[in-house]
Each structure stands twice: as structure tokens, then as C-alpha cells.
Structure 1
Amino acid sequence: MKAIWLLGVLLMTTGDASAATRESIIDAWMRDYTGRVPGASVLVLRDGAPVFQRSYGLADLEAGVVASSTTNYRLASVSKQFTAASLLLLAEDGALSVDDPVKRWLPSLPAAADGITLRHLLSHTSGLVDYEDLVPAEQTRQVHDADVLRLLEHEDRLYFPAGSDYRYSNSGYALLALVVERASGQRYATFLQERIFTPLGMTATRAREDDGPAVTDRAYGYSRVEGHWQRTDQSTTSAVLGDGGIYSSLEDLARWDAALYDDRLLSATSRALAFAPATATPEPDVAHYGFGWRLQGGMQWHSGESIGFRNVLLRFPAQRVTVIVLSNRDAPEPYALARRIAGLWDARP
């Protein structure tokens, strides 16, 4: 194993390896996901084509269902790029502007929100209070996007004046899903399906709703509890869609990645807005945040963490390389792993 690790380090430095060697190295790095354990799916795209695609472990421990390239994992905060894209599509339609005051669309917010725009929500500069801290500890009923609005209606305060600082905010993206509904006249999940998923051929991707279409080939989330894997698939905040409620697979995310290189979904102007450095951040490997994207040099990325799932999507557009790692377990966070995998193809920020 040490020899494989050293070879991986060498290849990350030189970028010189055969396909078989890269496969062996990645398989070694993924050994903890192999067997009758919660699994993971890995995809490397280069010039739009898969140069590595493999799944490990199980999507459903109880039923013994193996993970595959069509397994749909809960994306958690990787979902935010779809929420941002929805706003940009509506801006292209002329239905809204990213500089609209949020209270144009959500007038029940308190006076503290008067200065907040949709741009602030998109770039995590709104100063909104984290809704997760407002949910009663004893609550078992799931929170929905509309509930986030109701919670914030009673919080006439901000962490800082809108636009003056950065603080990662799930509250902001939950509100953006409601803005999409009000500006489009459609349920958020329906808008995603009709305007993004279906046009791109992402036929199995879903914003999961209890009363909506079922998630097919679904991975269930697990956590390690006292040495055993325990299903921990949903929490009280898992039903909030705008900040993290989308399920997708390697195959569908490859279609999403392809659409970010041309005009098939978003115009060049909208794509430039999504990837423009809207605000500086103090987060590691996140020099700036755009609209639904973390930006670090030449790398565009986002991670997603929710109960039972850890995911990451890294894009290196200059090298035309994308690395996606999806997993249905509470740990480890796969960002460092994805960076190592990207290094095998000489992709760096």
C-alpha cells in the first residue's frame, strides 16, 4: 500500500501514467469503500469523455444493492449550483433580476432584510441568520423551504449588514428556491425538472419531495455508530430543497458538466456570472464564492455534506478535467481524495 501511495504522489507530480496504473492507484485509495459497506462512485471526465468511472461498495446495505454509475446520491450542497442556475435562467427570461431586493419576492421578511438582494443570497453575503439554529431541538417534523421563510420572519436581525461580509448561508439558498417558485409560477422541483434536468437528459435526477416522483436507483445514507454502520438517511432539514435536496448520479452529472461549457442551457453571460468571483472568503481552498460555486484559482468546485452523505465536484475548465466523488456515508469528506485523483491527470488550480 505504501508503494501505491508513493506512486500516486509521483504521478500527481509528473502527470505521467497509463490508464491501468491510474485505475490501480484510485482503487487503492478507495479500498475503505469496498465490500459490504456504504459506497462511493467516482468519475473523471477529460474533454467531455469519461477516462475513469467506477463505483465501490453498497448503495443500500439492508438490501445489498451495489453502487453504480446510475446510483442517485443526495447531493447536499452540490445542489446549490442548480438553484443558482435556476435564478440565472429566470433572469434570462426577464422574470427577475439578480439585483432585485429579496423583499420584492418575499415581502414577509422583517425590516432587517430590507437591504438584501438576490445577489447577496447567491454569494452568501446576506447576513441572514442560519435557519438550522432556529429549529427547536425537540422537533421531529421535517423543515421545508417555506418553513425557513417562516422561521426567518421572526428574526429581525442579521449577522452583518448585507453585502459587508461573507458567511456561508443555507438560509439564503432556501429562500432562493421560494423566489424561483414565485417568479416562475411553478413548484421549485417542477421548475428544475422542466428547465434543467429534462432538457439536459438528466432523466433520473430529482429534487426529492415526499409527494413527488420517487428517486430511482437511490443510495441511502449511513453513519458509523459504535463501530457499526447505521442508516441515517434523513434529518429534520433534509426536506429543504434549495440548499441541498437534489439527488443525482455520475451519469447525469456528466451531462450537467458538459452543459457548463456551452450555451445549451445557460448563456455565456449567465455562465460568466456563475463563475465570477462575487466575494472573497476565509474558507480553505475557496478564494472566492461565485453563484453556487466555490472558486480557487482555475478550479470551480463545491462540496456537499448532509447526514449520511459526503460529495464533491471539482472542475478544471482550462484543462477540461472534472472529478466527481459521491458517497453515502457520513465520513470522510472526499475533497482531499478528489484533489489527489485530479492530480493524476495533472489538473490543479
Structure 2
Amino acid sequence: MYRWKSRFAPLCLLAFASAAGAAAPMPPDPGIDGLMQRYDGQVPGAAVLVLKDGQPVFRRGYGLAVVEDGTPVTPATNFRLASVSKQFTAAAILLLAEDGRLSIDDPLKKWLPGLPAVADAMTLRHLLSHTSGLLDYEDLMDQHGDPADTRQVHDIDVLHLLEQENRTYFAPGSDYRYSNSGYALLALVVGKASGSDFASFLRQRIFLPLGMHATFAHQDGVDEVPERAYGYSEIDGRWQRTDQSTTSAVLGDGGIYSSLDDLARWDAALYDERLLRRASLRLAFSPATATPEPDVPHYGFGWRINGDMLWHSGESIGFRNVIVRYPKRKLTVIVLSNRNDPEPYPLALAIAKRWLDAKR
């Protein structure tokens, strides 16, 4: 059986109470409102949350979650997180390691034995840190698929594509290359090691214990995302709905929907042991590998690391998101948007700077 932690109940109630307190109206902030001006009005919008010392100091929605009927964005609006989802996939693996169900140094083929010989040396650690060398499944879809086929692929389809390819970009552990394929496979490992499916494991072991009741690894026909934002792209000067692509049903690399209010609960859990032990959090937040990317000197497990800053962006058709955390300053900025442009990372940094520049 899973090791349910007795400390969940009181701490989760605390987290829920804290987030419920966030529902109080926030005064306007001309500085942040100015930065977010292009998201305001009758256009696809965004939601912004600033947490300082565990409390919301700014929390506001801009623009529209559903353009067609004028539904506004609020702090409870649920956006597709895209690659911000990877931190939850990594947390699921770490929870199973704490349970003794797996080790992060397990060979990948212990769990997915149908992979070809080229995967013999790959471990779960390589997948978590993007050092596996796995081929990008999106490219394989173009090679093996029918361009006219608009059906969505799922995590298991990613596995089947990779089972046909006895080649990698590099030897496992020898280099870094950001890999959606690796996180899709990790979702399958979570399912096999837990005896559940990935979406149910996240819901039962992470979302519900933390009070993230409106957060789902979304599956059409299985769950309904409440207060859902739909994604849009600007095409020929008009906003057109581009909410789903053929890869939108792959869960492990980017299939979670969540809101500012639920992500506040998640952020709170990253400061203590209500979900993961301190040793597991250190693994997630410590540099596992160097990267060639200037804004990402290192990558941990589901987190980009730049000095004292932990962050991750998420981009998919019609959505652009980012979470930026400064744990030593107890400062977090989250920007979620349901549009293809602009990238919100510079906005989040500009918002964070206002508190970082303040006197300690």
C-alpha cells in the first residue's frame, strides 16, 4: 500500500485556509497593470499571482478565458500548464521512490522493457534531468505518421514510436537535450510502479491531499476541467481558437490544467514536508546537469535552475505560462496565459524585480 503521511491532514487544511484567504479582493497595482496591459480587455488574457512570505500580495486576472462568450479570466481560471506540468511528473517519481516502489537510478527498461537496445543504459534519473538522449517524439510523429491524421497521441503512443527507433541523440548521461519524450515515458513509469494510471496517481497523491481540487491531468471523456480557459493564437490579425493539437493529450510532459489558487497550494508544499521529504525536494531543486541555455545554467528534476532562482515555462498551442520561485526570498511569481504570444517569462522577471529590489 502507499505510504500515506499523517502530516497531510493538518498541513493541507492550513494550505487550503491560506489559499482561501487569497480570495480576498486585491487592490490594483498600476505598475503590474501596466505590464499586463496587452492582456486586458476583449482578448485572450492572463492571470498573475505574486506570493511573498507565503501570502498573496498580488492576484488578478486579465482579459478573457473564453473569447467567444466573453468569460473573464479570474484567479480560479484553469489553464493548460504545458511544460510547467513536468514538476508534477518529477514529484510523482520522487513520491514513488519514497514509497520504495522504484529508484530514480532504475534502468528505464526495468519498467518499459519494449524499448530497443539503445535504451539499455538509460535510467529514470536521465529522463528526469533531460540527459537520456531520447529522440523527440514530435519529430517521430512527422516521420511515421500520416500528416492528414489529426487524432491525438497519448503517452503510450510516444512509447510505441520510441520502440521503433534504435538510435539516440547521444549516449545516455553524456549531454543535455530538453526532452518531452522522457517525461511522457516517466508518466508511464508512474502508472506501472503505482499500479494506477498517471492521472489518477497525481489526483490521489498530490492534488487532493494539497487541496488542489480543480487541478487535473486532463483526459477528454474522463474528467471535466472547471472554469477552463481555452487557448488562442493571433492569425491574420484576429484571435482564433487553437486549444488542442495532436500532442495535447500527452500527459507526462504537459497535460495538467491548474489555476493560480491551486498553484498557490503547490508552492506552499514546496517549502516543507507536507508532500515530499526534504531529501526529495533537494534532489528536485539541485543541479542535476549543466545546460547550454543562457537562462538555464542547470536543470534539476522538473525545474530550471539559475542561481537562487527556480523556474519553468510552459508553451503549447494557445498557451504560454511560467512559474518563477526565489525560495530564499520566499517570493513566487506565476503568470498563466491562454494565447500564443508573448512569452511571459520576461514579464514574471519584471514583476519579481519589484520585490527583489525592495529592502530585505
Looking at structure 2, the residues matched to 54 and 196 of structure 1 have their Cα atoms a distance apart, in angstroms, of: 25
1:229 is paired with a residue whose SS is strand
Distance 1:138 1:48 in 2: 49
Rounded Cα–Cα distance in structure 2 between residues aligned with 1:100 and 1:269: 18
Matches within 5 A, 1:163-202: 163-202=173-212
> Percent sequence identity over matched residues?
69
Q: Who is 1:73 aligned against?
A: 79
Does the 8 Å contact 1:278/1:290 carry over to 2? yes
Corresponding position: 1:150 with 2:150: no
Aligned to 2:342: 332
What is aligned with 1:204? 214
1:79, 1:246 within 8 Å by CA — same for their partners in 2?
yes
Q: CA deviation at 1:103?
A: 0.1
Deviation at 1:139, TM superposition (A): 2.4
Q: Post-superposition shift, 1:211? A: 2.4
Deviations 1:6-49 (A, max 9, x none): xxxxxxxxxxxxx97x8101101111001110000000000110
- Aligned equivalent of 2:61: 55
**Equivalent residue letter for 2:186:** L
- Kindly indicate whether the alpha-carbon contact (under 8 Å) linking 1:222 and 1:232 is maintained by their aligned counterparts in 2: yes
Structure 1: unaligned runs, 5 residues or longer:
1-18
Task: Quote the residue 2:32 is aligned against.
Answer: 26
- For the residues of structure 2 that align with 1:93 and 1:63, how far apart are their CA atoms? 46
User: 5 Å matches for 1:194-343?
Assistant: 194-343=204-353
Superposed displacement of residue 347, structure 1: 6.4
CA–CA distance in structure 2, aligned partners of residues 282 and 55 of structure 1 = 35
Matched, 1:35 2:41: yes
Q: Which amino acid is the alignment partner of residue 115 of structure 2?
A: L
Deviation at 1:138, TM superposition (A): 2.9
106-115 or 129-138: bigger deviation? 129-138
Runs of 4+ in structure 1 over 3 Å off: none
Q: Match for 2:74: what amino acid?
A: S
Kept in 2, the 8 Å contact 1:316–1:347? The answer is no
Q: CA deviation at 1:306?
A: 0.1
Query: How far apart, CA to CA, are the structure 1 residues paired with 2:41 and 2:67?
Result: 10
Cα separation, 2, equivalents of 1:212 and 1:39: 27
Give the residue type in structure 1 aligned to 2:202.
L
Counterpart residue identity of residue 33, structure 1 = Y
Alignment of 1:93-112 (within 5 A): 93-112=99-118
Cα distance in 1 between the residues matched to 2:92 and 2:301: 11
In the alignment, the residues of structure 1 paired with residue 345 and residue 330 of structure 2 have an alpha-carbon distance, to the nearest angstrom, of 19
Contact 1:321-1:347 at 8 Å conserved across structures: no
Equivalence for 2:23 = none
Determine the C-alpha separation between the residues in 2 that align with 1:282 and 1:242: 24
- Please report the TM-score for the alignment, with normalisation by the length of structure 2: 0.90
Aligned equivalents of 1:347 and 1:176: distance in 2?
Answer: 39
Aligned pair count reads 329
Q: Is the 8 A contact 1:56 1:66 kept in 2?
A: yes
Equivalences for 1:77-88 in 2 at 5 Å? 77-88=83-94
Checking the alignment, whether the CA contact within 8 Å between 1:73 and 1:220 is kept in structure 2 is: yes
Paired letter, 1:214: E
Contact map agreement 1:319 1:347 (CA 8 A) in 2:
no
Deviates more, 1:221-230 or 1:207-216: 207-216
1:167-223 CA distance string (max 9 Å, x none): 000000000000000000101000000000000000000000012110000000000
Distance 2:117 2:79 in 1: 38
Question: Which whole-Å CA distance do the structure 1 matches of 2:149 and 2:330 have between them?
Answer: 45
Q: Distance in 1 between matches of 2:42 and 2:238?
A: 12
Supply the AA of the counterpart residue of 2:53.
Answer: D
Distance in 2, Cα, partners of 1:326 & 1:113: 36
Measure, in 2, the Cα distance between the counterparts of 1:27 and 1:267: 38
Corresponding residue of 1:4:
none
* Residues 296-317 of structure 1, C-alpha deviations (whole Å, 9 max, x = no match): 0000000000000000000000
Letter matched to residue 291 of structure 2: T
Equivalent position amino acid for 2:337 in 1: S
Deviations 1:224-257 (A, max 9, x none): 0000000000000000000000000000000000
Q: In structure 2, do the counterparts of structure 1 residues 347 and 113 end up closer, same or farther at CA, with 3 Å as the change threshold?
A: farther
1:200 partner SS: coil
Letter in 2 for 1:190: S
